[in-house]
Structure 1
C-alpha cells in the first residue's frame, strides 16, 4: 500500500459500537461472584452502574485511536524526541484498524491473524487507544465544556502526586493498578474547577463473554488508588476486537466527584499546560500532601450505604454482592 493511501485510510470516519446496560452490570457481577471465592482479583467494593453512551455508537477514525495511544504511552516528556516517540504507535499499528463495508470500525484481516503474545500485546495497546477515545466521549457528554487529559497511573503513583489533585496513594492490597488518571480542566469567568477520573482499559480478541471477566477485574483496579485522600469516580472500557466490527463495553463505578481545592492562581498555572507535557518525577511529600493522603476506612461491599444517587438525580438501590467481601 502506498503511504498516501494509508494516510487517507487512517483518517476515514468509522462507527465504533458502544454498549453499557443493566444486563452488562448483571453479567459482570455474576462473573465476579463466581470467581471471588478463590481469587482476590474479583474482590471489589464499588457499585457498578451503566453509562449514558448515547445512541448509534461513536464516530471516530483509526488515526484518532492511534493518536490517543501514542500520546498516552509516551513517557519521554522532556526528551527532544518525545514528539517522534508519540508517532510510534501510529506506525506500529497503522495496518490494524479499518472501516468495513457497513462503515464500522474493525480489525484488518492481517491484525486478526497475529498469534500468541503478539495478539495479547495488540489487544492491550488497541484497548488503550479505544478506551481513551470512548472515555473522553462519555465525559464530554456528562461534563459540557470540560477537557480531559491522561496521566499514566503508575507514573503518578511513583511521583506521589498529581498537580492540583494531591497525593496519589495505593489503598488496596492488590498489586493491580488502573491504567490512567484523567485530569479534567474547566475554566469560566466566575469559577475554576478540576475533575479527576480513574480509567482502566481492556481489549480482547476472544469471545464477548471474556469481557465480563475483564470488567470484573477492572473494578478492583480502579479502586486501588486514592487521589488527595479520596476515591475518584472511574470508567472501565473493554473493547471486543473483530473483523466484523469493534464494540466497546463501558461501566461506571462512581466515587467522589470534584477534587480541586486550590486557589484560582494555582489553577491558572495548571491549566496553562497539558498534563502529558509535564515532567513527572518523584518528590518528597509536603505536610499538606501527607495530611491529604490519609486513607479512609474501606467502603462496605456493594457501595457505601443502602442507596446511591446517580448523576441524573435518580436514586438507585445498591446491589448486594455476597461473596465479594474481603475477609
Structure 2
C-alpha cells in the first residue's frame, strides 16, 4: 500500500504556442461576454508565453509522496481549515491513496482518487493542482537559477505583513479579490531575491477547462506588481486530472525585468530581527499618460523603497511555514506579525487537530525533529511524521534565520533523493528546504 506512494513516475507538462493561443482565445471571449453584461473589463497579465522547453524537457518525474509533501508545506500556514495553522499541513494526507504511478508510466488518479472526484471534485483538483504546480515551479526555477535556492511562500500571508488583504484585516483594505496564491522566492545569501507570483489551478474536466483556468489565472497573476508597471515575471498553472487517463500540467509564464528586490546596501535588513508590520496603501499606479498622472488600479504594489522590507517579509514568512510544519507554535510566533496570524499560534487548538513538536526521527540517515499524526488507511493504523532537519530546526527555533538560510543553501543539492527508507519502513520525501514527510504502518 505504501510502496505506491514512493513510486517515481512521469508527469506530462504542456506548454507551447498552441496552448497560449487557446488561452488567449478564451480570454477574448470572456472579455466580450463581460462587455455584453456591462461588467468591468478584467486586467490580465500581459506578455504570456510558453515556458522554454529546456526548462521542462519532456516533463518531470515525481512520486505521489513528494507531491503531497509539497502540498503540505504549501498549506502549513493556511487559514482555511480548523487546525489554527499547526495542523493545516495534515490535510495533504487525505490524498494518500488518490494517486498512482510506476516507473516508465505517467501518473494518474487511482481508483480511490476517481471515486473521490465524484464527490469532492473541486476540492481534490484544487489541492492536488497546488502540489503538482509548485513541484513543477521549483523544478523550472531551479533549472533557470541553478546557483540559487527556491522557497515557496504563501502570498496571502506574506502580503498581510504590509497590506490589509481583506476587510477583516486591520487597515485600509485592498478591496481586490484577485491575487496569486504563492510567491516563489529565488534567493542566495547576501543577494537580492527575485520573486515570481504563482497561480495554481486544477480540474477533472479536460484541456478546455485548463484553458479557461489559465485565462482566469492571468488575472490573479497581475494583481501584484514588484517594481515597474506590468514588468513582474509570473508563472501560472492548470493541472488536468482526468478520471480516465494520465494527468497533465498546463503551464505558461510571463517574463519581465521586475521582481528583483535590489536595494541599496544601507537598507539591507537583519533577517534575524522580527518583522515590522507595515501599512502600504493599496493600489498599483500605472505610468503617466501625456504627462498626466492616472488613477491607481486595484492590486498590490511593492515599490523600490519597500524591496528590503519585502525580502525580509518573505524570509520570515517562509521560516514560519517551516516551524509550523514541524509543529512548533512557540517557534512560529516570532516569525509572524499580528495581521499575518500570530495570535493563532498563541492560543489553544481545537480538540484532536493540534500538533506538537515532540517527535524525533532519523530518516535516510539524517536526524529530524517535528510532529507526528496517527490515522488509518483502509483500517490499517499508520503514522505520519513531518519535520525539519535537527541542526537546521535548531537555528529556526533560536531565531537564527540568517544562519539557517546560509546552511540550507549550502546543502541544497546534497539531500538524499531516495523515496523509501527501509529502516523507517515507509515512503520518505526530503525537500531542499530541509523539511521531511514520512509515513509507515504501525505494529498491530
Distance, in Å, in 1 between the alignment partners of 2:143 and 2:27 is: 29
For the pair shown, which has the larger CA radius of gyration, 1 or 2? 2
**Is the contact made by 2:108 and 2:246 (CA closer than 8 Å) also made in structure 1?**
yes
Q: Residues 265 and 85 of structure 1: is their aligned pair in 2 closer, same or farther, counting only changes over 3 Å?
A: same
**Is the contact made by 1:229 and 1:295 (CA closer than 8 Å) also made in structure 2?**
no
Q: 1:12 aligns with which of 7, 25, 28?
A: 7
The answer for the alignment partner of 2:351 in structure 1 is none
- 2:230 pairs with 1:236: no
Q: Secondary structure at the match of 1:249?
A: strand
Q: Higher relative contact order at CA 8 Å, sep ≥6: structure 1 or structure 2?
A: 1
**Is the contact made by 1:19 and 1:249 (CA closer than 8 Å) also made in structure 2?**
yes
The answer for the alignment partner of 1:32 in structure 2 is 27
Q: 2:278 aligns with which of 284, 290, 304?
A: 284
Instruction: Write out aligned runs for 1:23-62 (5 A).
Output: 23-39=18-34, 43-52=43-52, 53-62=55-64
Q: After superposition, what is the alpha-carbon deviation per residue over 1:119-162, rounded to whole angstroms, capped at 9, x for unaligned?
A: 1000000011111001111111211122121222122222217x
Q: Secondary structure at the match of 2:193?
A: strand
**Is the contact made by 2:241 and 2:247 (CA closer than 8 Å) also made in structure 1?**
yes
What is the aligned residue count?
268
Q: After superposition, what is the alpha-carbon deviation per residue over 1:283-314, rounded to whole angstroms, capped at 9, x for unaligned?
A: 233xxx67xx88331699xxxxxxxxxxxxxx
TM-score by length of 2: 0.54
Distance, in Å, in 1 between the alignment partners of 2:162 and 2:119 is: 32
RMSD between aligned residues: 3.3
Distance, in Å, in 1 between the alignment partners of 2:288 and 2:173 is: 15
* Alpha-carbon shift at residue 235 of structure 1 (Å): 0.1
Q: Which moved more, 1:194-203 or 1:36-45?
A: 36-45
The answer for the alignment partner of 2:254 in structure 1 is 253
**Is the contact made by 1:192 and 1:264 (CA closer than 8 Å) also made in structure 2?**
no
Distance, in Å, in 2 between the alignment partners of 1:178 and 1:220 is: 9
The answer for the alignment partner of 1:307 in structure 2 is none
Q: Residues 145 and 296 of structure 1: is their aligned pair in 2 closer, same or farther, counting only changes over 3 Å?
A: same
- 2:285 pairs with 1:296: yes
Distance, in Å, in 2 between the alignment partners of 1:41 and 1:101 is: 46
TM-score by length of 1: 0.71
* Alpha-carbon shift at residue 30 of structure 1 (Å): 0.7
* Alpha-carbon shift at residue 56 of structure 1 (Å): 2.0
Q: Residues 57 and 223 of structure 1: is their aligned pair in 2 closer, same or farther, counting only changes over 3 Å?
A: same
* Alpha-carbon shift at residue 249 of structure 1 (Å): 0.8
- 2:201 pairs with 1:199: no
Q: Secondary structure at the match of 1:177?
A: coil
Q: Residues 238 and 38 of structure 1: is their aligned pair in 2 closer, same or farther, counting only changes over 3 Å?
A: same
- 2:89 pairs with 1:86: yes
**Is the contact made by 1:49 and 1:252 (CA closer than 8 Å) also made in structure 2?**
yes
Q: Secondary structure at the match of 1:38?
A: helix
Q: After superposition, what is the alpha-carbon deviation per residue over 1:40-95, rounded to whole angstroms, capped at 9, x for unaligned?
A: 57542511111014322101111111111111111179xx9967543431x21101
Q: Residues 27 and 257 of structure 1: is their aligned pair in 2 closer, same or farther, counting only changes over 3 Å?
A: same
- 2:17 pairs with 1:22: yes
**Is the contact made by 1:203 and 1:240 (CA closer than 8 Å) also made in structure 2?**
yes
**Is the contact made by 2:233 and 2:255 (CA closer than 8 Å) also made in structure 1?**
yes
Unpaired runs of 5+ in structure 2?
35-39, 164-171, 290-444
**Is the contact made by 1:96 and 1:111 (CA closer than 8 Å) also made in structure 2?**
yes
